[in-house]
């Protein structure tokens, strides 16, 4: 980190900004350095030869670099948001994906009963498409058998089941992710799972050949998407953005907040750049609102002047204030109710007599 070499610190900052890295990557590196310096300043090792002043100087240099990057980071994030919204999945394609996956999964389960292993990952892709097109989730990767078993004890076939999955990306902020499924949407696969017999001990609902979760669920999802004849090659992030964006245009603010929490989605992060990424229809509606402001009629100030009349605008002339003489009140005069002026006696200044020298 060059620590006491301030020129080296500045060269490091310039190198981050001039290379081919994205400005958000440079911002990420500098924030990590700033966090380390804050920790280092508060818990300085006993063998450290740097003074506190030197550490503070390096920290201030990094923090200044972060402040200088704010504008570029904001513009970059707005541009990324605009590009994402340009290729956002349409509502009709989300509907086709959801209904198509739900219709295809039973036939894939029939094939799985005949052929054991061949179509297992095929089912994973379609089930991911079914869930993500509705909820914007991809948390089925870490769904555990015990979580499904607990959902069965708390739910019912008539009301459905709520699966609480504790292992996901934003668990530390939102807690367990919830997934509501009806009886026929997962029960058949769970009942067939023991017959396939995973090679390794794996407690995941959608198990792999090893002990860990799936690494290529996005690829299985894109394969299912293409087989359903849908355009493009979206990722889970694209589908999640589409579900969130379309919800903004349809539901109220309260409903959107509840849906965002159910998606384990930070609504503040999504809304930070949403107002700057309106489409043509939304921007046209925004312009009509501004035009309506200009065509609203007279100013309120003009109406107030007409009601008040011309005399109300004339300034009020106040009489001149009289000088008052300072008075001193003593206790006796206050009791008698009289005011007694203090008399000042001037003493004549006598000329100074010269000293006589003996």
Pairing of strands 177-181, 161-165: antiparallel
pLDDT at position 127, please? Answer: 92
Higher pLDDT, 289 or 34: 34
Does the predicted model carry a pTM greater than 0.75?
A: no
**Distance between CA 116 and CA 112 in Å, rounded?**
5
- Highest mean predicted confidence (pLDDT) among 27-31, 288-292, 308-312: 27-31
Q: What is the mean pLDDT of residues 308-335?
A: 53
Cβ partners under 8 Å of residue 211, min gap 6 = 200, 201, 202
Is residue 251 predicted with pLDDT exceeding 50? Answer: yes
pLDDT at position 335, please? Answer: 45
**Distance between CA 90 and CA 23 in Å, rounded?**
30
- Highest mean predicted confidence (pLDDT) among 80-89, 96-105, 116-125, 341-350: 96-105
Tally the residues of the chain: 358
Share of the chain above pLDDT 70, in %: 72
pLDDT at position 214, please? Answer: 82
pLDDT at position 173, please? Answer: 67
Is residue 317 predicted with pLDDT exceeding 80? Answer: no
Q: What is the mean pLDDT of residues 141-148?
A: 86
pLDDT at position 223, please? Answer: 94
Helical segments of the chain, H only: 6-18, 23-42, 52-86, 91-115, 120-135, 145-154, 171-174, 187-196, 217-227, 236-250, 253-262, 267-271, 280-294, 300-308, 331-336
Render pLDDT for 202-231 as a digit per residue (tens, 0 to 9): 888 888 877 788 888 899 999 999 999 999
Is residue 314 predicted with pLDDT exceeding 60? Answer: no
Is residue 308 predicted with pLDDT exceeding 60? Answer: no
CA distances from 158 to 106, 148, 152 (A): 20, 16, 12
């Amino acid at each position: 980190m060059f620590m006491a070499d301030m020129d080296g610190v500045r060269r490091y900052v310039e190198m981050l900004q001039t290379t081919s890295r994205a400005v958000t990557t440079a911002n990420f590196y500098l924030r990590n350095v700033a966090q380390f310096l804050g920790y280092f300043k508060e818990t300085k090792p006993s063998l450290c030869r740097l003074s506190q002043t030197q550490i503070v100087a390096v920290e201030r240099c990094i923090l200044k670099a972060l402040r200088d990057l704010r504008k570029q980071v904001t513009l970059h994030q707005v541009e990324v948001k605009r590009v994402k919204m340009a290729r956002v999945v349409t509502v009709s394609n989300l509907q086709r994906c959801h209904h198509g996956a739900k219709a295809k999964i039973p036939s894939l389960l029939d094939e799985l009963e005949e052929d054991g292993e061949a179509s297992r990952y095929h089912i994973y892709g379609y089930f991911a498409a079914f869930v993500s097109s509705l909820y914007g989730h991809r948390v089925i990767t870490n769904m555990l058998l015990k979580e499904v078993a607990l959902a069965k004890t708390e739910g019912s076939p008539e009301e459905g089941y709520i699966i609480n999955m504790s292992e996901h990306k934003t668990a530390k902020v939102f807690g367990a992710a919830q997934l509501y499924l009806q009886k026929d949407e997962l029960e058949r696969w769970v009942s067939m799972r023991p017959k396939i017999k995973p090679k390794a001990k794996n407690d995941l609902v959608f198990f792999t050949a090893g002990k860990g979760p799936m690494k290529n669920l996005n690829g299985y999802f894109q394969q299912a998407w293409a087989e359903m004849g849908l355009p493009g090659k979206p990722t889970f992030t694209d589908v999640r953005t589409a579900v969130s964006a379309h919800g903004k245009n349809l539901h109220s603010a309260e409903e959107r907040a509840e849906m965002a929490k159910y998606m384990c989605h930070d609504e503040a992060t999504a809304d930070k750049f949403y107002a700057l990424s309106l489409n043509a229809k939304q921007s046209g509606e925004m312009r009509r609102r501004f035009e309506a402001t200009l065509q609203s009629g007279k100013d309120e100030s003009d109406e107030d002047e007409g009601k008040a009349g011309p005399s109300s605008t004339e300034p009020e002339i106040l009489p001149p204030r009289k000088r008052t003489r300072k008075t001193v009140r003593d206790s006796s005069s206050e009791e008698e109710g009289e005011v007694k002026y203090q008399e000042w006696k001037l003493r004549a200044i006598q000329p100074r007599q010269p000293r006589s020298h003996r």
